[in-house]
């Protein structure tokens, strides 16, 4: 079994409020063909968009499954999206759903939302402005004997459930639903760190969407990003490998598409993907 330093990691509180969808004076979103649309987008409570659903079918832009939270204080929110990790326990601490528990499913850069799964009955009792506390646990996670593999953004208890295997020649095998070439990675490339937020798989090329299984992607799916280095910022690097989780929906804008929050990265090919159509955090967390 893969050994980590999880017993040395700090569990720390961060929190935010359910964030309302927002619109500017110009309500239109411009698609890849230059056409204007009025569509649902980020924020709020999405009642019918969930982990395990297709991330490609929705009439919307950057749709976030479940509940989107944010702190009103910029520095506090920076800490929330930096320290919260996929799989962390989240608890409602105000409002009619007080006491309900869920878990973090991803972080969305740019809008800087933290995304959280809750059961349907709890969603019905929530309202915009309710406060949710997250037990942040995972940043600093490391695999013993693999200093060239950097882990990030994942709860160590979820990490243990991914059925990661170590080969005799020192390769880490991780289940993924598909592999994505670096040339399809778009919005977010060049960010200074992958420890916060996400970046997008571009979906403007319909043949590539079919070839690489992008049309079949679901919220919560694990994917492998080839030649994509996320160890210190996001860049192309031949031979590098990253593993990430699909966190938001497809988009209509050029250079955008399903968002990926990275959970592992190596500048070398120490990580290998094993294709498994059940490689989804919903399966590992027991909600699918």
**Domain containing residue 181: CATH number:** 2.102.30.10
**What pLDDT tens digit does each residue of the chain (288 aa) get?**
789 999 999 999 999 999 999 999 999 999 999 999 999 999 999 999 999 999 999 999 999 999 999 999 999 999 999 999 999 999 999 999 999 999 999 999 999 999 999 999 999 999 999 999 999 999 999 999 999 999 999 999 999 999 999 998 989 999 999 999 999 999 999 999 999 999 999 999 999 999 999 999 999 999 999 999 999 999 999 999 999 999 999 999 999 999 999 999 999 999 999 999 999 999 999 998
Whether residue 128 is found in the same domain as residue 182: no
Instruction: Kindly state the greatest CA–CA separation across the chain.
Output: 59
Whether residue 61 is found in the same domain as residue 127: yes
- Conformation bin of residue 179: beta by default, left when phi > 0, alpha when psi is -120 to 50: beta
Whether residue 96 is found in the same domain as residue 190: no
**Would you state the pLDDT for residue 1?**
75
Whether residue 274 is found in the same domain as residue 154: yes
What gap in Å lies between CA 213 and CA 216, rounded to an integer?
A: 5
Strands 271-275 and 172-176: parallel
Sequence-ordered list of residues with C-beta below 8 angstroms from that of 138, at least 6 positions apart, any chain = 9, 85, 86, 87, 88, 151, 152, 153, 154, 155, 156, 159
Whether residue 155 is found in the same domain as residue 279: yes
CB 285 within 8 A of CB 245: no
What gap in Å lies between CA 268 and CA 149, rounded to an integer?
A: 8
Whether residue 119 is found in the same domain as residue 163: no
Structural domain including 49 reads 6-22+39-136
CATH code of 80's domain = 2.40.10.170
Of 80, 113, 136, which marks where a domain is finished?
Answer: 136
Is residue 122 one of the residues assigned to a domain? Answer: yes
Whether residue 84 is found in the same domain as residue 190: no
Whether residue 106 is found in the same domain as residue 168: no
Whether residue 75 is found in the same domain as residue 185: no
Whether residue 121 is found in the same domain as residue 174: no
Is residue 260 one of the residues assigned to a domain? Answer: yes
Cα within 13 Å of Cα(55), Cβ side = 32
Is residue 33 one of the residues assigned to a domain? Answer: no
Of 136, 162, 193, which marks where a domain is finished?
Answer: 136
Quote the number of domains for the chain. Answer: 2
Is residue 95 one of the residues assigned to a domain? Answer: yes
Is residue 279 one of the residues assigned to a domain? Answer: yes
DSSP 212: T
Is residue 32 one of the residues assigned to a domain? Answer: no
Whether residue 216 is found in the same domain as residue 239: yes
Is residue 31 one of the residues assigned to a domain? Answer: no
Whether residue 183 is found in the same domain as residue 210: yes
Q: Which secondary structure element, helix H or strand E, spans residue 179, and what is its range?
A: strand 178-180
Terminal C-alpha separation, the chain = 25
Of 106, 136, 166, which marks where a domain is finished?
Answer: 136
Is residue 142 one of the residues assigned to a domain? Answer: no
**Would you state the pLDDT for residue 75?**
97
């Amino acid at each position: 079994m893969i050994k980590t330093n999880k017993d040395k990691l700090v569990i720390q509180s961060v929190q935010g409020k359910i964030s309302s969808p927002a619109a500017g004076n110009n309500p239109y979103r411009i698609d890849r063909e230059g056409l204007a649309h009025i569509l649902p987008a980020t924020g709020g409570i999405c009642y019918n968009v969930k982990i395990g659903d297709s991330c490609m079918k929705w009439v919307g832009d950057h749709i976030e499954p479940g509940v989107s939270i944010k702190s009103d204080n910029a520095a506090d929110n920076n800490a929330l999206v930096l320290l919260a990790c996929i799989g962390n326990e989240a608890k409602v601490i105000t409002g009619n759903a007080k006491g309900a528990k869920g878990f973090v499913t991803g972080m969305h850069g740019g809008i800087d939302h933290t995304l959280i799964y809750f059961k349907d009955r709890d969603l019905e009792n929530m309202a915009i402005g309710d406060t949710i506390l997250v037990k942040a646990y995972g940043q600093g996670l490391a695999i013993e004997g693999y200093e060239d593999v950097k882990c990030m953004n994942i709860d160590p208890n979820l990490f243990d459930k991914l059925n990661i295997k170590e080969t005799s020649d020192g390769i880490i095998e991780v289940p993924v639903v598909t592999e994505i070439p670096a040339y399809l990675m778009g919005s977010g490339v060049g960010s200074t760190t992958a420890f916060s937020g996400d970046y997008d798989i571009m979906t403007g090329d319909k043949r590539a969407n079919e070839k690489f299984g992008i049309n079949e992607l679901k919220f919560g799916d694990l994917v492998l990003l080839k030649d994509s280095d996320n160890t210190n910022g996001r860049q192309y690097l031949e031979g590098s490998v990253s593993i990430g989780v699909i966190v938001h929906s497809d988009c209509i804008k050029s250079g955008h598409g399903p968002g990926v929050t990275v959970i592992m990265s190596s500048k070398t090919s120490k990580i290998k993907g094993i294709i498994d159509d059940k490689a989804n955090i919903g399966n590992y967390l027991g909600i699918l």
